[in-house]
A and B are shown apart, each in its own frame.
Chain A
């Protein structure tokens, strides 16, 4: 990413709640057409000229996002066969299927930047590319499925809504589709927790226990604090990122606290309180050392998630081979040269 520096007099002004509209002046080999598109807040499309750093950053981010959707199927997928009713089971199946769809929209978007599907899957399977560390926590009870929908999908929505305006067209369009589908995910999770929280005392305890375990990891989904975030500023300049990690995290806390009250559940943070001066909730310090450990792959389930994913891919190989063989045979009958 070096070699693409800008004279950015405005960087210091990039404060909270300030979308990027300031003109950008390149000082390096950034194509003028690209600079002009960003300045006009227009979308960059696949065949447009773009700096190599922009392309690489997008491939990395979109791939990591796609991997997260795919690995994210596992913690909840474990509960499909154990859902407490047919209604819940059908809903959970649809939700997990949506996540597969999200992964596929995003892999397609990454491919418009020249990445190949096989390379991307290989990077996931060999650990060269990461997925969101949130999916390295176990789903111990049915209430965890509720907590994931409410908190994890809830946090994902806050992260993803600004990406619908990302400067790269195919990524932004994939995000629009994804965001439309996410609100059902969050609501079904909320409904599960609401039912448990208003059930027997044991069910209420189960709901509270799940929220206690998922709250802090959900806050960490927004990434490291702004002063420790390596990629943020460049991504902001490129219109890939619109708001800082800390701002999105605050937005999530402010949205979620009243929802917890409606559930009749508490959030496990003694420092959480309304701050009338800021018009926001103050919250306690986040233990990021845990996040960094999980990102490095020390998460309790990292190895298991990847092994499961690789296993599924390998067990599905015969289906892919059979489909290819069938089409090759038919192409032969049609007298075509196979593609």
Chain B
């Protein structure tokens, strides 16, 4: 009996991760993925450099980008050997971190209360629904007027989209909780606050993490929009200046970097979710077998 529980808790930690990685390598998934990437690179290479198709001839070619990317002495000034490259990544990441943190810290509680209290919902939600559809780009002028400097407007813009996604999903999460759970909690003697803490919050957790997943995605989206308009550093700024300065390989370097960092951050959010919702991971793992 004790043995079983020990095994279960072990499986949640390191062992489970290792097990998952090893099964992943045994499955066709990683090879299909490599094949997909290889296919895209080949198309790129053929279109631009070998066949030089119309509309593709001005595009930076695969070899050009790769040599630039890994050159200790890049022609256009940005490669994995230049400190500026990491400075741009660092600054973008810092903005994402601030915005995502703020959006989560404000959005999750707001969403929980919107779902929990009918009165609060009626009071706040209409306002929320009017502000939400406004595209992030439409906020740019106001953000620049409202906030001084170049840093805060960008963070504000990045925050906004994330905040709406987090709040809305959290609210839906609370509304999705089966009434039997709250009723059961009350039957078992839980008061309002205890029900909130032990039923509403964990019950909404799957939706909250879906929200955070969307939130981190739209954060990158609006970050780049913000950095292109105002800001002096960051990956969006790199892409925009590379465009105006006609240094095309740098555009592609910026894009690839965005893709990779974006992917890493959303993986981190997903792993945090799995960590906090062991019950879900284990339920889903059973479903797979």
Bound pair (A, B): no
User: Which residues of A pack against B, CB within 8 Å?
Assistant: none
